[in-house]
């Protein structure tokens, strides 16, 4: 415990430690991050989805750089967002559980942008930053509980900003988070259209649920398009770095809260005509903790020792450059007690679970759906196919290893295969070294946050 406190003390800073470089870029670019709430990386046209329409995100990809191996540090909203904004792993921020607030002394990269002359805005979901001490450090902050109003709020924020400063905006949508069927949609999808992932049962209930999810993905894209029009009108589009991403995977079984591919892989598109090659894609591995050092470097702000990411600027300039071999992700409390860690390469994904005696349920809001109720009923009757059972079973494997190049949905655990033992040992060691480096120490099950009493954890079979 003392070791963790020591690391955390070193990694959290009081006040912004960043200093401007001696040679500051005279015309600093605007910076705009569009972040979705519970968007699966697959449900974006630029990543090959055959049904979901995302024309504005696709336009940004055709004119920017698409990352094909970008991973989040958590598959849960507030720890993921806190990690993005601090450039630190969730276990180092002291905000690793859902609903945890960052401590007042935490440094956000937006603090450093503001001190270097940027007008900073957080508009939409402020999960993870919703403490008065941190909220007041944005030049402009507006939170909203109406996802259909998001485009209007983003445009309003842009139009009220001072015209003599570069801006940073964290445009934090509530789409496609549950509950669905709220507000209006420009396009709606029919259940017959949807593509059911191989780990979800193809039932009428699941199809309707997935179609509602698609509606909100397209609405997120529509709101992005409204902001792009404002930037075009103001002739600011070519001077704005635009990022499109998500905070965690889609809110379905074996996705959100998991540290598998569908839990922590994110769409990640970077647009800037003078920085990236138009219409390019990179296979280089990247992590959410890399966003802060990247944007600070581009803005001409010196990087802090507290940052735990690596600047992606070399990749933005040359898509074939590699800056990291491993990415890391955490699963902590999100309605249910949990402690999992993952190591990710371009070929493999390794998961260690400190609580294998417990089931790994779907998130609470998905438990309220008729699609989930049907899955649970079939499971209890012994009628649910094995590939769909993962959110119910216990005990579980303490270690999982997936060959993600040929098993993108992490369906076949190969940790027990003889020919995978060398890789398994290597990734075990890498995880141990990483945990040691960030002060991430398992405190014991009794000290973890307990299950939310509103939801019943499946007992398994």
Q: Residue 23: its pLDDT value, please?
A: 34
pTM here? 0.95
Q: What is the mean pLDDT of residues 16-29?
A: 52
pLDDT band for position 72 (cuts 50, 70, 90): very high
For CA atoms 432, 438, 444, 445, the dihedral sign is negative
Q: Residue 20: its pLDDT value, please?
A: 40
Stronger pLDDT, 4 or 348, i.e. the higher one: 348
pLDDT band for position 25 (cuts 50, 70, 90): very low
Q: What is the mean pLDDT of residues 356-373?
A: 96
Q: Residue 145: its pLDDT value, please?
A: 85
Q: Residue 333: its pLDDT value, please?
A: 97
pLDDT of 211 > 50? The answer is yes
Token duo for residue 437: 């480096």
Instruction: Mark 315-346 as b/e (b = at least 16 C-beta within 10 Å).
Output: bbeebeeebbebbbbbbbbbbbbbbbbbbbbe
pLDDT of 226 > 70? The answer is yes
The CA distance from 85 to 259, in Å, is 20
Q: Residue 384: its pLDDT value, please?
A: 98
Q: Residue 9: its pLDDT value, please?
A: 36
pLDDT of 459 > 80? The answer is no
Q: What is the mean pLDDT of the chain?
A: 93
Nearest to 310 by CA among 284, 291, 332: 291
Instruction: Give 399's strand partners.
Output: 352
Stronger pLDDT, 21 or 327, i.e. the higher one: 327
pLDDT of 7 > 50? The answer is no
Q: Residue 16: its pLDDT value, please?
A: 57
Q: Residue 461: its pLDDT value, please?
A: 60
Token duo for residue 20: 């401007």
pLDDT of 313 > 70? The answer is yes
pLDDT of 303 > 90? The answer is no
Each residue's pLDDT tens digit, 189-210: 999 999 999 999 999 999 999 9
pLDDT of 287 > 60? The answer is yes
pLDDT of 15 > 80? The answer is no
pLDDT of 21 > 50? The answer is no
Q: What is the mean pLDDT of residues 270-274?
A: 95
The CA distance from 233 to 381, in Å, is 59
Q: How many helices (H) and strands (E) does the chain have?
A: 14, 12
Instruction: Mark 89-120 as b/e (b = at least 16 C-beta within 10 Å).
Output: bbbbbbbbbbbbbbeeebbbbbbbbbbbebbb
Token duo for residue 85: 């904004």
pLDDT of 234 > 90? The answer is yes
* Least confidently predicted of 7-11, 378-382, 410-414, 424-428: 7-11
Q: What is the mean pLDDT of residues 390-417?
A: 98
Q: Residue 153: its pLDDT value, please?
A: 97
Asked whether 253 and 375 are in contact (CB, 8 A), the reply is yes
Q: Residue 166: its pLDDT value, please?
A: 97
pLDDT of 365 > 50? The answer is yes
The CA distance from 287 to 308, in Å, is 10
Q: Residue 148: its pLDDT value, please?
A: 96
DSSP characters over 333-363: -BSB---EEEEE-SSEEEEEES-TTS--PPP
Each residue's pLDDT tens digit, 329-359: 999 999 999 999 999 999 999 999 999 999 9
- Please, which residues have CB within 8 angstroms of residue 96's CB and are 6 or more apart in sequence? 74, 79, 90, 330, 332, 333
Q: Residue 95: its pLDDT value, please?
A: 95
Each residue's pLDDT tens digit, 120-152: 999 999 987 888 899 999 999 999 889 999 999
């Amino acid at each position: 415990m003392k070791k963790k406190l020591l690391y955390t003390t070193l990694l959290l800073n009081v006040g912004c430690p960043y200093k401007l470089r001696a040679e500051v870029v005279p015309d600093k670019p605007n910076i705009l991050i569009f972040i979705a709430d519970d968007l699966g990386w697959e449900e974006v046209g630029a990543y090959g989805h055959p049904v979901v329409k995302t024309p504005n995100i696709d336009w940004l990809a055709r004119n920017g750089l698409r990352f094909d191996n970008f991973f989040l540090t958590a598959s849960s909203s507030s720890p993921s967002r806190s990690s993005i904004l601090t450039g630190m792993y969730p276990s180092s921020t002291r905000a690793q559980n859902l609903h945890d607030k960052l401590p007042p002394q935490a440094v956000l990269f937006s603090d450093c942008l503001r001190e270097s002359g940027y007008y900073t805005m957080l508009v939409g979901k402020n999960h993870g930053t919703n403490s008065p001490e941190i909220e007041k450090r944005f030049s402009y902050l507006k939170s909203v509980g109406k996802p259909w109003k998001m485009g209007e709020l983003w445009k309003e924020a842009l139009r009220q900003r001072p015209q003599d400063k570069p801006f940073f905006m964290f445009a934090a949508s509530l789409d496609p988070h549950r509950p669905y069927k709220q507000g209006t949609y420009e396009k709606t999808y029919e259940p017959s259209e949807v593509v059911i992932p191989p780990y979800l049962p193809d039932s009428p209930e699941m199809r309707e649920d997935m179609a509602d999810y698609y509606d909100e993905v397209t609405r997120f894209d529509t709101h992005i398009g409204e902001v792009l029009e404002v930037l075009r009108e103001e002739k600011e589009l070519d001077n704005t770095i635009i990022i499109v991403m998500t905070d965690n995977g889609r809110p379905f079984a074996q996705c959100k809260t998991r540290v598998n591919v569908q839990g922590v892989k994110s769409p990640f598109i970077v647009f800037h005509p003078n920085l990236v090659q138009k219409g390019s894609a990179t296979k280089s591995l990247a992590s959410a903790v890399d966003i802060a050092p990247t944007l600070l470097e581009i803005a001409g702000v010196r990087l802090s020792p507290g940052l735990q990411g690596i600047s992606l600027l070399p990749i933005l300039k040359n898509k074939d450059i590699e800056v990291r071999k491993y990415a890391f992700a955490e699963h902590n409390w999100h309605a249910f007690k949990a402690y999992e860690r993952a190591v990710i390469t371009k070929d493999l994904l390794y998961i260690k679970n400190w609580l294998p005696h417990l089931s790994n349920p779907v998130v609470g809001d998905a438990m309220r759906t008729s699609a989930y109720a049907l899955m649970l009923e079939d499971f209890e009757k012994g009628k649910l196919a094995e590939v769909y059972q993962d959110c119910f079973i216990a005990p579980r494997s303490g270690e999982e290893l997936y060959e993600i190049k040929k098993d993108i949905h992490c369906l076949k655990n190969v940790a027990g295969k003889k020919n995978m033992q060398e890789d398994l040992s290597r990734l075990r060691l890498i995880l141990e070294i990483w945990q040691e480096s960030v002060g991430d120490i398992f405190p014991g099950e009794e000290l973890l946050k307990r299950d939310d009493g509103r939801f019943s954890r499946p007992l398994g079979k």
